[in-house]
Amino acid sequence: MWEAMIPVSATAIEDPVLPDELLPADWPRSEVRAAIGAAGMILGPAVLEYIGQLGHLTP
């Protein structure tokens, strides 16, 4: 499931966190932030459930 976040996360990591006036006009910062937020809302509950299940595994 986490694989669905890889393209969005990779783009977020590449963001140089510069002021908007120093970025190219087509820099996708707002689109990436929106995609991360949407993915978190969609995938978040399932990820939390999965993580909770990992705590019940025995080595």
Q: Which residue has the tokens 């986490």?
A: 2
Is the model's pTM score more than 0.85?
Answer: no
Interhelix angle 6-14/29-54, nearest 10 degrees: 130
Per domain, the residue ranges of the chain are: 29-59
Q: What is the pLDDT at residue 41?
A: 87
Q: What is the pLDDT at residue 32?
A: 80
DSSP the chain: -GGGGHHHHHHHHH-----GGGS-TT--HHHHHHHHHHHHHHHHHHHHHHHHHHTT---
Taking only the tens place, the pLDDT of each residue in 2-59 is 576 677 667 667 777 788 888 888 888 888 888 888 888 888 888 888 888 887 765 5
Cα–Cα dist 47/19, whole Å? 32
